[in-house]
Amino acid sequence: MAPAAIGLPVSEVRRAAGLRREELAQLAGLSVDYIVRLEQGRATSPSPQVLSALARALRLSAAEREYLFLLAGQPAPGPGQLSAHIPPGVRRLLDQLDGAPLSVHDAAWNLILWNPLWAALFGVPSALRGRERNIVWRHFTGLPGRVSHTPEQQARFEAAVVADLRAATASYPADAALRSLIKDLRGVSTDFAHLWETGIVGVHESDTKTIHHPDVGTLTLDCDVLIAAGSDLRIVTYTAAPGSDAADRLKLLGVIGTQAMTEDNTPA
């Protein structure tokens, strides 16, 4: 895969045309050591989660993804299991709409794709593993984040994501990881357990999110959740009104990217 396809410099001298191990590991959320062991045949039983992560990182087509699972001795995900396949149109959306933070999640709210401005706004998620990438798990278990909610916003958000998980269990009855996620959420969060038991129903509507960034300050952005046609993928977009303070801060963030800022507000 050409490094330019994921935004890496094209002028850099490379011994091979494709991605480096470190780059693939970062994209897939895996360790470099594990990538090396896969290459050398020392890791012989990659899990479906690892295979899905590799397929996303390498932007495999549906047929290539199925072949990858077969090569690894794993059955390709069936209709009763969550799919993390990214249609080409969604990929192009993230590649071309670089002026707004965008992220893509599966039906269980696992983060599976993001653009550079999203990483600059919320932090680079490459080091996150497993459920650390799940929005619902992070919220109900109190993992640190940069978003703050008013009580009303929090109630709307919780109702919507719990309803999403309930719908996902009906659409993907054979997905063991989804069942395990819900079981563990009910065990660790009394708030989630209560909402689950009440059968609360919620839908995603346009809302505002307040994000506290360590370098550019506090931004209040419009947040919209879009559903990709023909899939259960959630595309989350963050935008600001033209000419607003938040729009100016987003532009600054687009310039500095994920660099740290020094005390005089210049990129380190």
Assess whether 111 and 61 both reside in one domain: no
Boundary (domain end) residue, out of 37, 71, 105: 71
CATH of residue 215: 3.30.450.180
Does residue 123 lie within any of the structural domains?
Answer: yes
The verdict on 160 and 188 lying in the same domain is yes
Contact call for residues 105 and 239 (beta carbons, < 8 A)? no
The verdict on 119 and 210 lying in the same domain is yes
| Within a domain: 150 | yes
Q: What pLDDT sits at residue 258?
A: 65
Helix, strand, or coil (residue 5): helix
Domain-located, residue 20:
yes
State the pLDDT at residue 30.
85
Q: Are residues 95 and 222 in the same domain?
A: yes
In a domain, residue 267? The reply is: no
Residue-level pLDDT at 10: 67
Residue 78 lies in a domain: no
Which structural domain, as residue segments, surrounds residue 250?
88-256
* Domain shared by 60 and 185, yes or no: no
**Can you give the pLDDT at residue 62?**
77
**Residue 211 backbone phi and psi in degrees, to 5:** -115, 130
Is there a single domain that holds both residue 107 and residue 230? yes
Q: Model-level pTM greater than 0.75?
A: no
Residue 84: the pLDDT is: 75
Q: Are residues 39 and 96 part of one domain? A: no
Both 205 and 99 in one domain: the answer is yes
67 falls within a domain? yes
The structural domain count of the chain equals 2
- Asked which of 71, 98, 127 is the last residue of a domain, the reply is 71
Q: Residues for the chain: how many in total?
A: 268
pLDDT at site 261: 35
- Are 48 and 113 in the same domain? no
Contact 67, 53 (CB under 8 A): no
- pLDDT of the residue at 264: 33
Residue 113 sits in the same domain as residue 220: yes
Instruction: Give me Rg for the CA atoms of the chain.
Output: 19
Same structural domain, 61 and 36 = yes
| Domain CATH code at residue 11 | 1.10.260.40
Tell me the C-alpha to C-alpha distance, in Å, between residue 148 and each of 154, 186, 208: 9, 23, 10
For residue 207, the SS3 value is strand
Specify the pLDDT at position 16. 76
Structure tokens at 100: 């707004």
Question: 178 in helix, strand or coil?
Answer: helix
Residue 93 lies in a domain: yes
- The backbone torsions φ and ψ at residue 219, rounded to the nearest 5 degrees and listed phi first, read -120, 135
Q: Is residue 64 part of a domain?
A: yes
Tell me what pLDDT residue 70 has. 87
Mean pLDDT by 10 residues, the chain (268 residues): 71 77 85 91 86 85 85 78 78 81 93 89 86 95 94 94 92 88 96 92 86 93 88 91 93 78 34
Q: Does 177 lie in the same domain as 53?
A: no
